[in-house]
Structure 1
Amino acid sequence: MHINPEVRTAAGVARGSWDNTVAVFRGIPYARSPFGPRRFAAPVPAPAWDGVRDALEFGPPVPQAGDVTPRSGDADTDCLTLNVWSPDPGAAGLPVLAWIHGGAYLEGTSGNPHSDGATLARAGAVVVNMNYRVGVEGFAHIAGAPDNRGILDQAAALRWIQENVAAFGGDPGNVTVFGQSAGAGCIAALLTMPLAAGLFRRAIAQSVPGTYFSPRLAASISNHIAAEVGARATVGELARIPPRALIEAAGATVRRMPGLVESWGPMALTPTPFSPVVDGDILPRAPWRALADGAAPEVDLLVGHTRDEYRLWTARPGGAPSDEQVAVALRQLSPGPDRGAYRTAYPDATPAQLYDIAHSDWLFRMPSLHLAGARQAGGGRAWVYELQWGFNAEQGASHCLDFLLVFGTLDPGEVRAHPAAHPDAAAEASRVSHDMRSDWLRFATTGDPGWAPYDPATRTARSYTAEPVVGPYPEERSRRLWRTHRFDTLDLLRTE
């Protein structure tokens, strides 16, 4: 029987537990509570503790929709915690993988069982994930508060890793940040933020959203949310409003967003009112421009997306678009002035398929591909991939499937039980999961995932199917549609 592992961090001794051969430390605070006098402020390091602190349970989630934990929502809670999985706390020099979860900048928790780090750690890495502020608390533009507070939390957790991960067997000089969706958007921002310089060596960005807001656009959104609770978007007024009320106000704004597309532009067609704010200070420029100009050239980048990104939303009950929604999407999301470009490029696609493709391209696929091009243009190295495999015809290779495969948390029983599952889906899931995880670990360890870096001339990419292949980037029709587009900061189109 294993004795519970203990590790001395800079703040004190933490006692974890064993998950088979992996030592797990849960709920370690990396910053003080972001409520009370520190609400809407930049994170402050957590205090030291005396004696041995049990690190056996995940910390409470940050306030978010759907969370019914009594400690969260309105309470002054110590929610800025992280978790560590180590295959050998007595080792030295293991690669470190630091996960930043997605969730539309609205939700997510490090205790999500789908991002359990045990399988990755067993393969030879120290894995860390973290809670960070989401929603109004983390991403709303509030007068008197720093922007991008959720990303500041992530940077604080990465500084904790630099100071402490060696005690868990990891190499602080070989940290790879990896994240999906909103987590990938935060990673693209961290790549270009001066305060994050030197905190990681490599980055894996899975399904990078194309949304970064100007202060004007972010202020307009925050004003709408604050108006829902009869306040102005200032620290003085919003600090008096319970987190739960602001969560509900943000939800009400999401429901109204499609009617604001003429003012807020295509971001009003997304599932969230939040994105990183390009404030000229914490985040000086949008990632594509910053990387193309040579930001962080020493950080290698692995970036990609799933083939059927937007199917996650349209495959849900009631998710099929109306004719009007299709028309609005093709008008708002098509690159350049030719609003018929998608119908020309995909002549055999149904209106619903065109809706899927346009949303997938604008929100995730093309921002991810262009980020690789920007990294290469700025003198750095980037590798590109696409997940093409899916276990059922309804969802295909949808948004979020990739991170389940990397973590190895896609339940084979659920795959087999799905009424639309392919006959060999469970066995294929195991192989694709192994392939992606092996490549992620190879990249984190050596800086090379196993295929040629992206180059605009050859456009080499790895496609994850039941039998993965390397060849030209597969979404050629969409790539050509978007080849002259330049992703940049989204601004307010007109005042209301």
Structure 2
Amino acid sequence: MTAAVSDPSDPSGPRPEIDAVTGALHGVWEAGVAVFRGIPFAEPPVGTLRFAAPRPARRWDGVRAAVSYGPPPPQGGALGMAALSRGATGDDWLTVNVWSPDPGRGAGLPVMVWIQGGAYTVGMSALPEYDGGRLAREGGVVVVTFNYRVGLEGFGQIEGAPANRGLLDQVAALEWVRDNIRAFGGDPDRVTVFGQSAGAGSVAALLAMPRAAGLFGRAVAQSVQGTFFSPDLAADIAASCAAELGLRPTVADLSAVAPPRLSAAGDAVGAKMTQWAERWGPVAHRTIPFSPVVDGDALPVTPWQALADGAGRDIGLLVGHTRDEQRLLTALDGLLGQVTQEQAATALDVFGPGQDGARRYRDGFPAAGSEELHELVQSDWVFRMPSLHLAQAQTASGGRAHVYELTWTAPGMGGALGACHGLDVPLVFGNLDRGQPAMLIGEAPSPEAEALSARMRAAWTAFAAHGDPGWAPYDTERRLVQLFDTQPAVSAYPEEASRLIWQDHTFPVLPLIGR
């Protein structure tokens, strides 16, 4: 059922009501969009369900109020996320939120399902930058966001628990969309997943997961985080986290540990990861303690291998990255303008491809100074080349991929951050004046920022609706990509020097180096 509303923008009018598979819901109208928040898609993963695969939510009686976000999953303190989640109560961590411009059962609108990033360690759908109202209203799409387990809860390799619980949560959320979205005006046969950073890494993983087959027809991967762990590496890191508590990395030992204590143990290991660099390799230098695990079951192979083998051949792919991915992370580390020759040399040795990666970078960028080399190799290793190689694997198998690069310089901090990691998120959602993106865009978004955001939103929603964002698919001869800037243009992929350095690299499962 959907309440008849003559003027949905009138807050005093009837509230939107729908009947989902799990029960009736009422939401709120916000600027002409029906919004439903905090809908459980799985049972709370606590008690006997702690560290278990998600179990579908049970049906409720009566009409449930869906007007507030559910509590965020337990998480570490990076970027202040622990503080943001501290006031939340309850253990209904696994909830979805829906924005619909036409919550009529027969509307048949395209559906866009967002997966937030956060290095698989932090992240919550309640952040104001992920509000789907503008994207839904102006793009004519149903927008869905949701929470999934992160850190040790979602990605720790724990004995007695299934691997990749965070990814299994994502599959469960997509199954909820399949079963319920028609009641919100969406078409379950026109679902697009889109995500950024670890969210884009998750999108890539979903493309490789047999359990996700058929749950979406298009995928948007923004700055794919290219880290995928072997079971041995993930288990070794989890053992170190458990050791912080004097415990073993088993369900029996960890299930009674309060979630905040478990998150704190993950933070403690993350703060001293470089101590294990000889065992854990490059992820120790980047403080990445958690990532999807290529376990041979839920995630049989890496996304690049899966796409090369044709797993995504029938799925439309839109993928890209920002020009200056590492710049924001360098600033957060307090190194902007401070990178030494020694730090650059270490980065080149650790992250450059092959035994002569450092030489390739110095030859490929002969005029680059220490900070630029430090930034380039890390941008390429963790985000830029994983994104490009995903498109190349899709194309090589006969699939279709559209590639973009965001080259617009963020006005925040006097332009010092360039086209940095995360800049695409406020532009895609159109939320330019709220939440964390305010430091990138500025307190008062310029007409230039608004125009660029409108172009990106139009491309993303057109892709969701029709599979065509407005420029030609990528191919290995012309390598055409859309450049998003003040003046948009289509050109050959601009990061040619990096592409050549990495052209023979295959992104492997990251191993445990020593024992």
Question: What's 2:513 paired with?
Answer: 493
TM-score by length of 1: 0.96
How many residue pairs get aligned? The number is: 491
Which residue type is aligned with residue 430 of structure 2?
G
Question: What's 1:202 paired with?
Answer: 218
Q: Indicate conservation of the 8 Å contact 1:289/1:488, yes or no.
A: no
Q: Separation in 1 of the partners of 2:343 and 2:162?
A: 36
Q: Indicate conservation of the 8 Å contact 2:129/2:437, yes or no.
A: no
- Aligned: 1:87 with 2:97: no
- The one-character-per-residue Cα deviations of 1:243-291 (angstroms, maximum 9, x if unpaired) are 1111111111111112322211111122321100000000000000111
Q: Indicate conservation of the 8 Å contact 1:416/1:426, yes or no.
A: no
Matches within 5 A, 1:4-15: 4-15=15-26
Select the residue among 384, 398, 401 that pairs with 2:403: 384
TM-score by length of 2: 0.92
- CA drift of 1:41 comes to 0.1
Structure 2 vs 1, CA of residues 111 and 26 (structure 1 numbering), >3 Å: closer, same or farther? same
- Aligned: 1:153 with 2:173: no
Q: Separation in 2 of the partners of 1:477 and 1:193?
A: 32
- The one-character-per-residue Cα deviations of 1:225-249 (angstroms, maximum 9, x if unpaired) are 1111111111111112111111111
Which residue type is aligned with residue 203 of structure 1?
A
In structure 1, stretches of 5+ residues that fail to align are none
Q: Indicate conservation of the 8 Å contact 1:85/1:126, yes or no.
A: yes
- Aligned: 1:480 with 2:500: yes
Q: Separation in 2 of the partners of 1:475 and 1:34?
A: 43
Q: Separation in 2 of the partners of 1:258 and 1:70?
A: 29
Question: What's 2:433 paired with?
Answer: 411
Q: Indicate conservation of the 8 Å contact 2:192/2:219, yes or no.
A: yes
Select the residue among 459, 462, 465 that pairs with 1:445: 465
Q: Indicate conservation of the 8 Å contact 1:6/1:16, yes or no.
A: yes
- CA drift of 1:457 comes to 1.2
- The one-character-per-residue Cα deviations of 1:386-419 (angstroms, maximum 9, x if unpaired) are 000023321111111101100001129999998x
- CA drift of 1:6 comes to 0.2
Question: What's 1:308 paired with?
Answer: 324
Question: What's 2:132 paired with?
Answer: 117
Which residue type is aligned with residue 111 of structure 2?
V
- Secondary structure (helix, strand or coil) at the match of 2:45 reads coil
- CA drift of 1:15 comes to 0.2
In structure 2, stretches of 5+ residues that fail to align are 1-9
Q: Separation in 1 of the partners of 2:492 and 2:192?
A: 26
Question: What's 1:105 paired with?
Answer: 120
- Aligned: 1:245 with 2:261: yes
- The one-character-per-residue Cα deviations of 1:421-445 (angstroms, maximum 9, x if unpaired) are 79x9712111110111100011000
- Aligned: 1:428 with 2:442: no
- The one-character-per-residue Cα deviations of 1:32-66 (angstroms, maximum 9, x if unpaired) are 00011100000001111111000000101111134
- CA drift of 1:341 comes to 1.6
Which residue type is aligned with residue 324 of structure 1?
E
Q: Separation in 2 of the partners of 1:353 and 1:414?
A: 25
Sequence identity of aligned pairs in percent? 54
Question: What's 2:345 paired with?
Answer: 327
Select the residue among 143, 151, 157 that pairs with 1:135: 151
RMSD of Structure 2 on Structure 1 (CA): 2.0
Select the residue among 23, 27, 32 that pairs with 2:38: 27
- Secondary structure (helix, strand or coil) at the match of 1:67 reads helix
Q: Separation in 2 of the partners of 1:296 and 1:256?
A: 38
Structure 2 vs 1, CA of residues 128 and 217 (structure 1 numbering), >3 Å: closer, same or farther? same
